[in-house]
Amino acid sequence: MAAEPTTLDILARLIGFATLSRQPNRDLIGYVTGLLDRAGVGWDLVESPDGTRANLLATIGPATGSGVVLSGHTDVVPVEGQAWSTDPFRLHEQDGRYYGRGTADMKGFVAAALAAALYAARRDLKTPLHLAFSYDEEIGCVGVRSLIERLATSPIRPALCIVGEPTGMRIATGHKGKVALRACCTGRAGHSALAPTALNALHLGADFLGRLRARQRDLAETGRRDDQYEIPYTTLHAGRMSGGQALNIVPECCEIEFEIRNVAGDDPQAIIADLKGDAEAIVAPLRPAFPEVAIAIDEINAYPGLETPMDSPVVALLRLITQSREPAFKVAFGTEGGLFQDRLGLATAVCGPGFMTQGHKPDEYVSADQLGRCDAMLAALVDRLAVGL
């Protein structure tokens, strides 16, 4: 009989699948379901509308409405334009580090969760272990929403959720919410030699960016604060501005993509309402001469923040299975954890191998020590589920 694959064996296979966001992940999911089939573990898929990508749900142990779900995403960010020392889609080991796209964010945890599932399949669990692997997380937790809706109508509902994003194996109890938005600025086209007779949409965009920056200064100086975050206040950030066709044409359209990352207690919808008021203040004086002028703000994507109390049962469980005495903290990046908490009411925390400072960059890696600590945590979890939570 072939030896059961280790976390490292599984990770090497997972890295070999170039599962970029918006690209198919079915080959990776096929490999995962093959592992689960050989272990006798049942699974279910929740497909994307076009069928090229899929979320995976699996349960080991009794089919009861309880247990712990291990949540992770299967997609990774692109490598184009990055100077990698090795093939990013082939696992490379050097000096106790495992290099490859997604090793830290977050196929290292997915591999460890699969190894733990294979271990759990050989045990007689009293409390179930669930796996929830999603697609397109990197572009706004897109795929996991249909997975969560499936769980919302399922008789098998976990009680606790561990999201395995890289925290250095520390326990994270929160992250900010996020709203991604687009401001579409409409002016009037014209010949650049007659520019004052037209209305430059780029200028409208620049005026709007000025208001955005003023709102950010106000939030930083007088807004709500949470000192558990590295940036302890709500942030506004413009990431992309585009418009114009040629230098000698006054541009009619300009688009700005921006985001709000809010601490608990700050209502992003109130901030959006203020920004819409700022936009109207910019265009109102121009409307008599240019009736078509507009700055329209539309929401692209959003997910809620995560705010887990320190006395939550998931924090107590993680302290038990990690044997950690380090204080819990809050991460700067977002996760699907807020969606599990908000939609399903699951007690949720974030804990996984590696560090986000290694993610999204060339020569991404996770250390052997971090993977070993994650394996130990998940083995302790399985042992705990064998006697019941």
Confidence check: pLDDT of 1 > 70: no
Contact 119, 382 (CB under 8 A): yes
Out of 9, 37, 47, 75, the active site residue is: 75
Candidates 315, 306, 370; CA nearest to 340 is 306
Confidence check: pLDDT of 128 > 90: yes
User: Would you state the pLDDT for residue 245?
Assistant: 95
Contact 293, 287 (CB under 8 A): yes
User: Would you state the pLDDT for residue 59?
Assistant: 96
Q: What is the mean pLDDT of residues 164-169?
A: 98
Phi, psi of 8 (to 5 degrees): -65, -40
d(CA 369, CA 55): 29
Crossing angle of helices 337-344/144-152, nearest 10°?
A: 30
- Mean pLDDT of all residues belonging to the chain: 96
Pairing status of strand 54-60 against strand 42-47: antiparallel
pLDDT digits (tens, 9 = 90+) for 343-363: 999 999 999 999 999 999 999
Q: Is 323 exposed, middle or buried (0-12, 13-18, 19+ CB in 10 A)?
A: exposed
List the structure tokens of 162. 């561990």
Structure confidence at residue 372 as a pLDDT band (50, 70, 90):
very high
User: How many other C-beta atoms can be found within 10 angstroms of the C-beta atom of residue 359?
Assistant: 22
User: Would you state the pLDDT for residue 2?
Assistant: 67
Candidates 322, 317, 379; CA nearest to 113 is 379
Out of 105, 137, 165, 226, the active site residue is: 137
User: Would you state the pLDDT for residue 284?
Assistant: 98
Structure confidence at residue 157 as a pLDDT band (50, 70, 90):
confident
Sequence-ordered list of residues with C-beta below 8 angstroms from that of 47, at least 6 positions apart, any chain: 53, 54, 55
Structure confidence at residue 65 as a pLDDT band (50, 70, 90):
confident
Q: What is the mean pLDDT of residues 31-56?
A: 97
List the structure tokens of 61. 């142990």
Q: Which residue has the tokens 């007088």?
A: 222
User: Would you state the pLDDT for residue 137?
Assistant: 97
Q: Verify whether residue 75 is a known catalytic residue.
A: yes
List the structure tokens of 169. 């194996």
Sequence-ordered list of residues with C-beta below 8 angstroms from that of 234, at least 6 positions apart, any chain: 176, 219, 223, 224, 260, 261, 262, 263, 266, 268, 271
d(CA 359, CA 100): 10
Candidates 47, 36, 35, 50; CA nearest to 147 is 47
Q: Verify whether residue 267 is a known catalytic residue.
A: no
Identify the DSSP state of 323. Answer: T
Identify the DSSP state of 103. Answer: I
253 alpha carbon, distance to own chain's centre: 31
pLDDT digits (tens, 9 = 90+) for 87-100: 999 999 999 999 99
Confidence check: pLDDT of 280 > 90: yes
Sequence-ordered list of residues with C-beta below 8 angstroms from that of 53, at least 6 positions apart, any chain: 23, 24, 25, 26, 47, 135, 136, 143
User: Would you state the pLDDT for residue 95?
Assistant: 97
Q: How many CA atoms lie within 13 A of 112 on its CB side?
A: 36
Confidence check: pLDDT of 155 > 80: yes
| Position 158, amino acid | P
- CA dist list (Å): 314 to 62, 256, 318: 20, 40, 6
pTM for this model (two decimals): 0.93
User: Would you state the pLDDT for residue 64?
Assistant: 80
